[in-house]
Structure 1
């Protein structure tokens, strides 16, 4: 059976109409976008006044289209299926812009992996959400941005700290840290916010001003391949980080996720090791299109524990409270491939939808980690050759 996203379902009249709308919107803007020699500001102003969109939106669309042209494999997918709306295309450009002036070979590696990520592998598959696309792209750039050993400079004082006025009596604070430090700070603030029932901004202010103390021990959960050098890592609650950052986050304890995948428990309550595997496989809530992080979800027994269902990765899925309730109430049911974690959701009206796990332990992300290792080796070899020439 041919693989396709539900948004491109050729037998669904609604999906067909929506695809045609996306196609016409894409082709209109591709034809209307400014040429490289045009005055950018004036042209975007003209487009804004003619279309009713803001100038900011016309600029974002234009930049997204020029970025897509730098990703030929991804553009070929888009111009075959017309499945990406401008929200996703703009996200792609915004995230990749973090790399600055990108070498051609870097864009080629990103294009190859992005096109693999966006290619449907099963029929009636759910299109990756904008949030999951952003997470994937952040993972791709995490291993492309760090400096190599050959061109690292001596440590300098971090002066990236400034305040600014906002509106309605408010003001902002902007500060940058190295990635490892920021991850630890963010987790500390998150724990304090949870402990005291505050927002993260409130917790940050009260911690600095000494109005609260955090008695919670901060623990970072990092997923990283153990069978290869220079592997990137996934920090729960943060996302993908570069191999260099992962090297600086030395774990106090390591746990074998290959072992956790095969573990079973007689208890209804999911043991921590099995839970860590399920979260690392799923990444997010497994309801199609939901992007609530797996660590914030419940562990659902696909086959009820009371009916003999195992407390094991092969019978557990991450579901947020809302979608857990939908499943419990009988509005939908799912079957799961015990080896890959792929899920098919079955609905009362006869529909079915296919959902792939998004976490760092999925086959796609594990295979990507292998290509990352090769990419880093190639990048460092090229840097060394340039320095010696």
Structure 2
């Protein structure tokens, strides 16, 4: 009699869909596996530059460009991007373990971090390092990797949070900052050749708040006169037309405990992003000149209209929540999108912010043609797109309402707590600089003030944008050179005398 033994394995295989991963890491997707191989190759090529000392950078770029048949600007950008990881040890470790980030993404990170400056301390870099690693930690299965635009916006947001100053003498500080701000403005004329034709160019440089006002005025005037932006600018500058009298600039800002924006905090300008210290000051000057109209978006979120057409406040809410077209991978700005009734209006869908979402014309047509449908989670900000082929894609809201800045979002508070020490350091540095400049107005010792500012810069590892005005120097009177021969020999003079003596 034979006995058969059946052995049951206790090993289980969890479906890939249950693991938290980005879509580009999906091991069951052949295209995702190929993209991972591409990133692995990039890592093998560029990761040595994280620490490699280069004696001749230009020559290295020339050789690598020739070897790989890639443009030199692409090679140099990739080298700089990987070299940036030396300041971001957590992100570097993550990249070494996962090869998650492509050169394209790393170059975007490097370009945005250039604004931090070479003198930033370790704590500042640690704040960016922790933020980026958290951003690249998947929270669900098949999650889309944050786009380069989203990554850059997060970096700029953190830069704005860290760039804070405190007044010591408000009147004197405002005067200094006004002078400094005006030095940041410039108009440049140049000429160039395109396709054999000589052309001229005009470039205006100013702070982002002023540029947003200029852009809004230019667009409003162009609509009024039915002109292109270029023709409108030319006609305005040459005096052929007058600008539109009234222009609205829409911005978003987190409300404080009393429901009002706290002075000095950054604001979000659509199409530009979060304001830095200079932009914020210009915005507050603008508000002083023209008091703004404030709409509480928490209240707008509850509104409903019987009309198919959303109110302006509903549009602004949707723009602030979504940021751009909500189809995965689409970065069309929300202001350039159409508002879609997720549940169609003719099927009982209400015209209310929770049923209105930003879709570009192309992806709006896809949804209207029933090739795709989406479901939004208002708590997490996730949007699940169900495709007609049985698969699904994920996207999320990327506007300032879901971008770690609102008081109702816990991440805002934790971000502030993590960055509190850096904020205090910068604030103290700026306050002490302005105090030294105030004291200089009293004692007048120019070189003493310069030395004291340098001591502060070394102590805080920061650079001051302000310096004392040098004292006026009295002009020195230099006497004329004396006559080298005050008593000349009379005999040579007699030879040239036109009136010789008579006998």
TM-score of the superposition, structure 1-length normalised? 0.89
Aligned equivalents of 2:136, 2:26: Cα separation in 1? 16
Q: Name which of 131, 137, 148 aligns with 1:113.
A: 131
1:155 and 2:178 are equivalent in the alignment? yes
**What residue is the counterpart of 1:7 in the other structure?**
24
CA shift at 1:24, angstroms? 1.7
Q: Name which of 202, 209, 214 aligns with 2:238.
A: 209
Q: Name which of 304, 318, 327 aligns with 2:344.
A: 304
The equivalences for 1:1-389 within 5 A come to 1-31=18-48, 35-104=52-121, 105-145=123-163, 149=167, 153-156=176-179, 157-158=182-183, 160-168=186-194, 169-215=198-244, 217-227=246-256, 229=262, 230-242=264-276, 244-245=280-281, 246-250=283-287, 251-362=291-402, 364-366=404-406, 367=409, 369-370=412-413, 371-372=415-416, 374=420, 375-381=422-428, 383-384=430-431
- Which whole-Å deviations, capped at 9, do the CAs of 1:290-329 have from their partners, x for residues lacking one? 0111111111111112221122222221111110000000
Aligned equivalents of 1:376, 1:48: Cα separation in 2? 42
Distance 1:39-1:123 versus aligned 2 partners, 3 A rule: same
Mark the runs of 5 or more structure 2 residues left unpaired by the alignment: 1-17, 433-454, 460-503
SS at match of 1:214: coil
Which 10-residue stretch deviates more, 52-61 or 190-199? Answer: 190-199
In our comparison, the structure showing a higher alpha carbon Rg is: 2
SS at match of 2:401: coil
CA contact (8 A) 1:332 1:345 kept: yes
SS at match of 2:178: coil
CA contact (8 A) 1:340 1:363 kept: no
CA contact (8 A) 1:180 1:248 kept: no
CA contact (8 A) 2:49 2:82 kept: no
CA contact (8 A) 1:262 1:312 kept: yes
CA contact (8 A) 2:302 2:353 kept: yes
Distance 1:384-1:147 versus aligned 2 partners, 3 A rule: closer
Question: Aligned pair count?
Answer: 389
Which 10-residue stretch deviates more, 196-205 or 21-30? Answer: 196-205
Aligned equivalents of 1:265, 1:339: Cα separation in 2? 23
CA contact (8 A) 1:132 1:291 kept: no
The alignment's C-alpha RMSD in Å is 2.8
CA shift at 1:25, angstroms? 1.4
TM-score of the superposition, structure 2-length normalised? 0.70
Which 10-residue stretch deviates more, 150-159 or 317-326? Answer: 150-159
Distance 1:338-1:58 versus aligned 2 partners, 3 A rule: closer
SS at match of 2:328: coil
CA shift at 1:89, angstroms? 1.2
CA contact (8 A) 1:23 1:82 kept: yes
Distance 1:110-1:206 versus aligned 2 partners, 3 A rule: farther
Mark the runs of 5 or more structure 1 residues left unpaired by the alignment: none
Aligned equivalents of 2:177, 2:142: Cα separation in 1? 52
Aligned equivalents of 1:332, 1:110: Cα separation in 2? 37
CA shift at 1:361, angstroms? 0.5
